[in-house]
Amino acid sequence: MATEILTVVGARPQFVKASVVSSALAALGRHEAIIHTGQHYDHAMSGAFFRDLNIPEPVVDLGISGGSHAAMTAAMLVALADEMERRAPALVLLYGDTNSTLAGALAAAKLGLPIAHVEAGPRMGNREHPEETNRILVDHLADLLLVPTDLCADNLRREGLGARVRVVGDTQLDALRAHAPLAVPPGLEGDFVVATVHRAQNTDQPQRLAAIMAGLALCPYPVVLPLHPRTAEAMARHGLATPANTRVLPPQGYLEMLGLMAGCRFAITDSGGVPKEAFYLGRRSLTISSETPWPELAMADATRVVGCDLALWRDGLVWADRPLDPVDNPFGDGRTGQRIAGIIAAFLDEMP
């Protein structure tokens, strides 16, 4: 009988989430093999994460990246289906909402393999984000929907998927707690703000990217901007420069990023993960997309959606600098990895 759990990862945030579940599966003596699609390939965005987070070496790196979303997803689908057919795993384990996740779900579904989806359920209500389409499709294909919060569970129930849902909490909280003591201090004098920008919605629209740079210039503190290659490329293409108060850094490793977030006044970001991590560290964030996948954070008064509207930025910059009142954490207790490993183990043990 097949026992292998086949994990598919490819992009930076997935390495963080998978590290938590991998170690919990190993603790249960379960056999996992990791496939890296190659979507993120720079050492700073991939290899460094495997090293710092002690993730087992992938059994294969497919080396598929870049090109259109269709070309990338299609190439991954073909290559992943080949690997899955050869390995005949008992279950395919997927994370988040990237093209690697979608390709993994399609490949597994075509072969009739069971799918577990970690971080199922967030909805932005706007298909302009490629991540939204990926999530919806993957959630509908998956057999186990491992959701971080009650709101995510509600979203899935509304789509008729309630029977497959298990609320487990957020793997990023486990990862952060485990690694916070190892966070690399930023080595910066005085107060600063940390910013990240990489969503297609912002990088592909020059007027949005220009507004974000104008917003950063309004910051009352120096801004540290670890720059995603997609954004660096878009800035160059549109002839945009960063403001004088902003220091550009290369993409940061996990422990360096934790150090920056633990040391900052607040975060400004279009990332899905950074606002959660800032919240776990007691920091507010400004969300610079048109909506947040995490209304839980808005309800906790921990993030504010300011988009690219400079009037909202002005108010938001004052709000974000005020201390965050402690609230119950809607993202669980930091034992999500163990919980997911237990659910997957029970699912496999009950399989005919």
Q: Which residues bind ligand UD1 (CB under 6 A)?
A: 11-13, 39-42, 45, 65-66, 97-99, 130-131, 198, 229-230
Q: Which is nearer to ligand UD1, 97 or 174 (CB)?
A: 97
Q: Which is nearer to ligand UD1, 90 or 122 (CB)?
A: 122
Give me the least distance between CB of 323 and ligand UD1, in Å please: 28
Give me the least distance between CB of 218 and ligand UD1, in Å please: 25
Instruction: Give the CA diameter of the chain.
Output: 63
**Residue 36 DSSP class:** E
Give me the least distance between CB of 338 and ligand UD1, in Å please: 25
Helices (H), 88-228: 99-110, 130-141, 150-158, 171-179, 200-203, 206-217
Q: Which is nearer to ligand UD1, 12 or 339 (CB)?
A: 12
Angstrom distance (rounded) from CA 271 to CA 12: 11
Give me the least distance between CB of 157 and ligand UD1, in Å please: 24
Q: Which is nearer to ligand UD1, 69 or 157 (CB)?
A: 69
Q: Are 169 and 333 in contact (CB under 8 A)?
A: yes
b or e along 178-188 (b: 16 or more beta carbons within 10 Å of the residue's beta carbon)? bbeeebbebee
Angstrom distance (rounded) from CA 312 to CA 315: 5
Other Cβ atoms closer than 10 A to 163: 8
Q: Which is nearer to ligand UD1, 133 or 245 (CB)?
A: 133
DSSP-assigned states of every residue in 330-342: TT--S-HHHHHHH
Q: Which is nearer to ligand UD1, 45 or 344 (CB)?
A: 45
Q: Strands of 285-287's sheet, edge to edge?
A: 246-249, 223-226, 193-196, 267-269, 285-287, 303-305
For residue 182, what are its two tokens? 């190892």
Distance spanning both ends of the chain, measured CA to CA: 9
Q: Which is nearer to ligand UD1, 49 or 331 (CB)?
A: 49
Give me the least distance between CB of 194 and ligand UD1, in Å please: 15
Give me the least distance between CB of 134 and ligand UD1, in Å please: 6
Q: Strands of 165-167's sheet, edge to edge?
A: 60-61, 32-36, 5-9, 91-95, 115-118, 144-147, 165-167
Angstrom distance (rounded) from CA 171 to CA 159: 24
Q: Which is nearer to ligand UD1, 222 or 229 (CB)?
A: 229
Angstrom distance (rounded) from CA 91 to CA 157: 23
Q: Which is nearer to ligand UD1, 22 or 98 (CB)?
A: 98
Q: Are 196 and 240 in contact (CB under 8 A)?
A: no
